[in-house]
A and B are shown apart, each in its own frame.
Chain A
Amino acid sequence: MSSIRRVVVTGLGAITPIGSTVPAYWEGLKNGVSGAAPITRFPAAKFKTRFACEVKDYNPDTYFDRKEGRKMDLFTQFAVIAADEAIADAGLLEGVDKDRVGVIWGSGIGGLRSLQEECFQFERGDGTPRYSPFFIPRMIADSSSGNISIKNGFRGPNFVTTSACASSNDALIAAFNNIRLGLADAIVTGGSEAAITESGVGGFNALKAMSERNDDPASASRPYDKDRDGFVLGEGAGALVLEEYEHAKARGAKMYAEVIGGGMSSDAYHITAPDPSGSGVVLVMQNALRDAGIKPEDVDYINTHGTSTPLGDGAEIKAIETVFGAHATALNISSTKSMTGHLLGGAGGIEAVACIFAMQNSLVPPTINLHTPDPEINQALNFTPNVAQAREVNIAMSNTFGFGGHNTSVIFRKLDH
């Protein structure tokens, strides 16, 4: 192996429930805007949860010609839109060897809407199979990375990572490793999800995982609050262009931050419940710190998984206390899912963008809806409640965990630090 190569972030993209571009998303984050509202994607009157964080005023015709858009599930449309923004931001279409540019994307579920619609249609018919030839390519999760590469001619490593809500971070770590190992010079990474469908909402309701606060959607995602009752389903995509440092420097690319470490672990405990001891989460943060070669005290900000579920939030915070010791109370901690809802496999993508903008702007986005702190959670920690806090952020950590017990943690460093 060649000597370890450094990896920097040279482009960002986002389409989220609180803003459909990176600048709009950041405006929403710093102002503490909630993206939750009644569901418009399907008639939800009979569902236990009738609200979600949808991408607002979304019209595929704004982004795709009709024929092109029709061939992509919504989660792939979001992927292509966010990737396009990141690729343009990085100036990655000119003056690079596209055989050395890859796409490693994350999606926990893939084309749930396409699967569901096709099955509904078959069920309504007379038993004659009339499946669309676009059904399988719309549904499979890797259609996201496939479409991004086809549109842009990127012929390097190309695949999708699936680890539920940890999928984006696994994609980021895979991209980081591929570049470090010299297998690519740049990789478009991140993740997307679009599961606000009958089967998505019905399925998560059956798991008792989602908030049912239908009378007040905007306050439903309330991580670390005593009255939290589950996550709020979100949709959208976050994209990053990761690039080898010398490659980026040689072409004069703007560099947002450096990726310095990635950690992965598994709870090996239960298929949906988090291990209440938090030991898998302790392990993942230790793995990430070790990979980055930094001490816990070097970290300024943690963008937590913090989904607003009764069990998960507390376990993660306990783990942070274990890993960071006395420094835990000096950290800024926030769950931006309080604003965006939970993008599942897309969460790590948009949360990486949040971490990088926190560094760029020396401003930590808040955990909104934190009005009645949970006495079971150590409130000596700074959860950045309700209002963004000015703070110089040199090193930020982004945690995501997924059903199946997958834990991931990525660490970013400010470039001039």
Chain B
Amino acid sequence: MSEIAEKVKAIIIDKLGVEASEVTPEASFTNDLGADSLDTVELIMEFEKEFNVSIPDDQAENIQTVGQAVSYLEEHAK
């Protein structure tokens, strides 16, 4: 797993209070990991902070799963 994927996973475990085994690439924040709309906003903010990126709202809407977050950040992280 890439360093970015590791960090993304750690943030999700911390913020959503889920087990590491649940954080699979296909896992959806809202459908599988128990996030509500505010949790999702917080996750995006944490990604922005951790990876020093700014994720526009229209792109944040497309980040629904763990895998989508990792791909986006691998592409955009500085």
Contacts and interface: CB of A to CB of B under 8 A. Distances in A.
Contact of B42 (A65, A66, A68, A132): A132
Contacts of B49: 130
B45 A133 contact: yes
Question: What is the interface of chain B mostly: helix, strand, loop, or mixed?
Answer: helix
A59 to B, nearest CB: 16
Interface in B1-56: 15-17, 34, 38, 41-42, 45, 48-49
A67 interface: yes
B42 A67 contact: no
Given A133-B38, A134-B38, A65 B17 contact: yes
Contacts of A134: 38, 42
B63 to A, nearest CB: 15
Contacts of A133: 38, 41-42, 45
Contacts of A65: 17
Nearest to B44: A133
A70 B38 CA distance: 13
A132 B45 contact: yes
A134 B42 CA distance: 8
Contacts of B15: 67
Contacts of B38: 133-134, 137
Contacts, number: 20
B16 A130 contact: no
Contacts of A130: 45, 48-49
A130 B49 CA distance: 8
Interface string A235-261: 000000000000000000000000000
A67 B15 CA distance: 7
A170 B52 CA distance: 47
Contacts of A67: 15-17, 34
A132 B41 CA distance: 8
Contacts of B17: 65-68, 70
A124 to B, nearest CB: 12
A70 B45 CA distance: 16
Contacts of A66: 17
Contacts of A70: 17
A136 to B, nearest CB: 10
Nearest to A132: B42
Residue with the highest number of chain A CB atoms closer than 10 Å, among B15, B17, B48: B17
A132 B39 CA distance: 10
B10 to A, nearest CB: 14
Interface in A102-151: 130, 132-134, 137
A133 B43 CA distance: 10
Interface in A30-84: 65-68, 70
A236 to B, nearest CB: 26
Nearest to A131: B45
Contacts of B42: 132-134
A118 to B, nearest CB: 12
Interface in A362-416: none
A309 B16 CA distance: 45
Nearest to B37: A133
A68 B16 CA distance: 9
A416 to B, nearest CB: 48
A19 to B, nearest CB: 29
A65 B45 CA distance: 22
A138 to B, nearest CB: 11
A132 B42 CA distance: 6
20 contacts: A65-B17, A66-B17, A67-B15, A67-B16, A67-B17, A67-B34, A68-B17, A70-B17, A130-B45, A130-B48, A130-B49, A132-B42, A132-B45, A133-B38, A133-B41, A133-B42, A133-B45, A134-B38, A134-B42, A137-B38
Given A65-B17, A133-B41, 18 more contacts: A66-B17, A67-B15, A67-B16, A67-B17, A67-B34, A68-B17, A70-B17, A130-B45, A130-B48, A130-B49, A132-B42, A132-B45, A133-B38, A133-B42, A133-B45, A134-B38, A134-B42, A137-B38
Interface of B: 15-17, 34, 38, 41-42, 45, 48-49
Interchain residue pairs A-B with the least CB separation, the first 7: A67-B17, A133-B41, A133-B38, A66-B17, A133-B42, A130-B45, A65-B17
